[in-house]
Amino acid sequence: MGQKGFFTDTTLCIGCKACEVACKQWNQLPDDGFHFTGMSYDNTGALGASTWRHVAFVERPVPLTGLTKGGIDFSWLMMSDVCKHCQRAGCLEACPTGAIIRTEFDTVYVQPDVCNGCGYCVVGCPFGVISRREEDGRAWKCTLCYDRLGEGMTPACAKACPTESIAFGDLDDLHARAENRVRKLHEQGMTDAYLYGKDAENQPGTGGLNAFFLLVDKPEVYSLPPDPVVPTMKGKRTWGMVALGALGMAAMAVGSVLLGREARS
């Protein structure tokens, strides 16, 4: 089947939200309450159990590099965010029931009929993507339209994107496409363009992302972590610190006993 994924080019996103609508329609997701967030044109706020695609609107008082003509002193950064389908997935590693699996397309999928709602996956995700639905307590997130992939179809969000900001395909092809895009943008003067999460070298804390992005500002500006790390990768260091702490306490105890003996003598 090969590794499948998304390449999201934020410089092509126009904020139309066609991906959000297509995702909800195909996956029959409930609405988010239509609350006014006060955050520009962003009415969904963040990814969640019922929002598997989220279009972020970032208003900056800074022009895009290479596009400073005409006295423009601000810019809009738009990005359609989604589950990253990490090569080393914190949610999968944390799941105690086997509800979260890696599919034949190398994507990360939550089996709703196996999920027991424990929530370990929620705290295991370094991106804060996966969450539980209030109605049933089970965890939900983007499936990369697993049912469509099985029929040779393109995921609904990528199919609906009018500017091809969301590209779907084989990871190797997407990597080549992304690198060519960055090269062209640099030639056009947009030297801030770079790839976020393309591979393990680019993002060792997750082993690379099957859904990676082209950005033109720091990850934090897009509400992405600058250096995401799967919690289990910190296990050895954590246990090492625990061992050092235990040795320190043992040394203090031995020292106290020796001092007590000296005081009595």
**Helix and strand totals (H; E) in the chain:** 7, 10
* pLDDT at site 214: 98
Confidence of residue 239 (pLDDT cuts 50, 70, 90): very low
Higher pLDDT, 39 or 83: 83
**Confidence (pLDDT) at 45:** 82
Q: How many percent of the chain have pLDDT more than 90? A: 70
pLDDT band at 63 (very low <50, low <70, confident <90, very high): confident
- Banded pLDDT at 49 (limits 50, 70, 90): very high
Beta partners for 200?
none
User: What pLDDT score does 246 carry?
Assistant: 64
pLDDT of residue 240: 53
Q: How distant, in Å, are the alpha carbons of 62, 125, 229, 236 from that of 226?
A: 20, 14, 10, 22
If you average pLDDT over residues 185-208, what whole number do you get?
93
Judge whether residue 242 has pLDDT over 90.
Answer: no
Average pLDDT, the chain: 89
pLDDT digits (tens, 9 = 90+) for 112-147: 999 999 999 999 999 999 999 988 899 999 999 999
- The whole-number pLDDT of residue 98 equals 96
Residue 212 clears pLDDT 90, i.e. is over it? yes
Structure confidence by residue, pLDDT tens digits, 152-187: 999 999 999 999 999 999 999 999 999 999 999 999
Q: Please give the annotated binding residues for [4Fe-4S] cluster, written as ranges.
A: 13, 16, 19, 23, 83, 86, 91, 95, 115, 118, 121, 125, 142, 145, 157, 161
Which two structure tokens, joined as six digits, stand for 57?
């609107």
**Residue stretches of the annotated binding site:** 13, 16, 19, 23, 83, 86, 91, 95, 115, 118, 121, 125, 142, 145, 157, 161
Per-residue pLDDT, 232 = 84
pTM of the model: 0.83
Buried b (16+ CB within 10 A) or exposed e, 214-240: bbbbebeebebeeebebeebeeeeeee
Greatest mean pLDDT range, 29-33, 168-172, 188-192, 254-258: 168-172
8 Å CB contact between 151 and 142: no
- Residue 167 near residue 9 (C-beta atoms within 8 A): yes
pLDDT for the residue numbered 261: 65
| 3-7, 19-23, 94-98, 255-259: range with lowest mean pLDDT | 255-259
